[in-house]
Amino acid sequence: MTRILVTGASGFLGRHLMAQLGKEEGYFTLDDSGDTDLVSPYETYALMVGKRPSLIFHLAAAVGGIGANQKKPGTFFRDNMLMASMYSRPRGSTRSVAARHARS
């Protein structure tokens, strides 16, 4: 059975993905519902060791709206880059998928 971890499962993309995965057989989905600080390498490592996913959909992001992004653009950039870098090749995981936001 494939163990799938979905970060950001309660967000827009995550909700839709979880609904689709719930229809599939042979998958066991684990969502990270905000109990883990995904910017912390220690907490992220503990999550990986505890859940042992074979596939990760990294859909979580640090967001705050236009005003917050204007006030702290570096903070949001740093936090999102840290999360993305930790999920790009997680230890013990065979595959990972990270969502990217494209600006037009």
DSSP calls for the chain: -EEEEEETTTSHHHHHHHHHHTT-SSEEEEEE-S-S-TT-HHHHHHHHHHH--SEEEE------HHHHHHH-HHHHHHHHHHHHHHHHS-TT-SEEEE--PPP-
Report if residue 102 sits inside a domain. yes
Structural domain range at position 92:
32-104
Q: What is the domain count for the chain? A: 1
Neighbours of 53 (CB within 10 A): 24
Q: Which tens digit of pLDDT belongs to each residue from 11-31?
A: 888 889 888 888 777 666 666
Instruction: Examine residue 88 and state whether it is found in any structural domain, yes or no.
Output: yes
Say if 15 falls within a structural domain: no
Is residue 81 domain-resident?
Answer: yes
Identify the pLDDT of residue 62: 86
Q: What is the mean pLDDT of the chain?
A: 77
pTM score, two decimals? 0.73
- Indicate whether 65 belongs to any domain: yes
